[in-house]
Amino acid sequence: MGEYIVTAFDSKGKTLLNESFEAISDNDAKSIGLRKLKGENLHGYPARVTRSSAGLVYFHS
């Protein structure tokens, strides 16, 4: 299992969500990250899912 971080921002760059979680793969992490964004009603905001070991899994601007 790897550690991942989902982060969402408002239009001015303020962090709205910054939450870490574990996932089996990058694809699983993307799915979990998108679910977390939808759960917080942040799915339309700029967001990213990254690996804690430095790697971009998902990006939306």
> What's the pLDDT at 35?
97
Nearest CA among 2, 10, 6 for reference residue 38: 6
Q: How many domains does the chain have?
A: 1
Domain holding 54, by residue range, is 2-60
Residue-wise pLDDT for 16-61, tens only, equals 999 999 999 999 999 999 999 999 999 999 999 999 988 999 999 9
Q: How many angstroms separate the Cα of 13 from the Cα of each of 9, 33, 35, 42?
A: 5, 19, 21, 14
Nearest CA among 10, 60, 12 for reference residue 33: 60
Please state whether the predicted TM-score (pTM) of the whole model is above 0.85: yes
